[in-house]
Structure 1
């Protein structure tokens, strides 16, 4: 719980540093302090929304039994809950990627490709804030993965 309070404080500081209307621009120096705070805010907001959704799911599970009188309705409800729980599990894994991205911001490594060392690019980071590779490096990685799977 202390981590969430710390995250909330970091989020408030990042929002104050960035301002409400700021969007990173290619005309600025890449990964300047304001851009780093923007991505910190983006990541912390994303993490908070995942935690909020997980809390709502947990509350829904605790609130009511899934005892539908009709077997078809019960099967449908159980399928829906199974999908919901798998989604929450994927999001749980995403939180570790968000935390890793926040660590990279703290270490000054955020926004740089872990393979080539080139800038990942603002558009890619806005679309996928946890990205660790440029589009080209990611495509090469996926091709290698596919080839080794096919062998």
Structure 2
């Protein structure tokens, strides 16, 4: 992979990491500052649904943070963009869509088929 591509992904991953951290802090502030009391059960249900949805999103983002840190480590070690199964280069298009990926599309498809056959 070219150095310009590595620099692009390094910046993309670092920006994403910072954005996720910032959103997490904002959500925490919002949830602790928001002390609204709704008398109407429908309003309360809506507020709880929104809060539950936001928490699910933040949980997904929380799980993404270690993957981003691992991808940044692969950039530093020179392994970024290489499939961990077959050793081939992962396409730039795939990396742009999912920069934390460790598998090329061919190997990922094979794994998904195997998981489907096992019922996972």
Q: TM-score scaled by structure 1?
A: 0.76
Following TM superposition, by how much is the alpha carbon of 1:92 offset from its aligned partner in structure 2, in angstroms? 0.3
Is the 8 Å Cα contact of residues 66 and 78 (structure 1) preserved in structure 2?
Answer: no
What's the counterpart of residue 54 of structure 2? Answer: 84
**Is 1:33 aligned to 2:13, yes or no?**
no
Cα distance per residue 1:87-111 (max 9 Å; x no partner):
1001000001101101111110000
CA distance in 1, matches of 2:82, 2:34: 47
What's the counterpart of residue 46 of structure 1? Answer: 16
The partner residue of 1:59 within 21, 26, 29 is: 29
What SS is found at the alignment partner of 1:49? helix
**Is 1:104 aligned to 2:74, yes or no?**
yes
Q: Structure 1: any 5+ residue segments left out of the alignment? A: 1-30
Following TM superposition, by how much is the alpha carbon of 1:131 offset from its aligned partner in structure 2, in angstroms? 1.1
CA distance in 1, matches of 2:49, 2:37: 13
CA distance in 2, matches of 1:111, 1:84: 32
Cα distance per residue 1:37-69 (max 9 Å; x no partner):
111100011111111111111111111214212
Please identify runs of 4+ aligned residues in structure 1 that moved more than 2 A.
none
What's the counterpart of residue 26 of structure 1? Answer: none
Q: TM-score scaled by structure 2?
A: 0.95
Q: 1:66 to 1:146 in 2, by over 3 A?
A: farther
CA distance in 2, matches of 1:59, 1:81: 13
Following TM superposition, by how much is the alpha carbon of 1:34 offset from its aligned partner in structure 2, in angstroms? 2.1
Cα distance per residue 1:121-140 (max 9 Å; x no partner):
11111111111111111000
Following TM superposition, by how much is the alpha carbon of 1:33 offset from its aligned partner in structure 2, in angstroms? 2.1
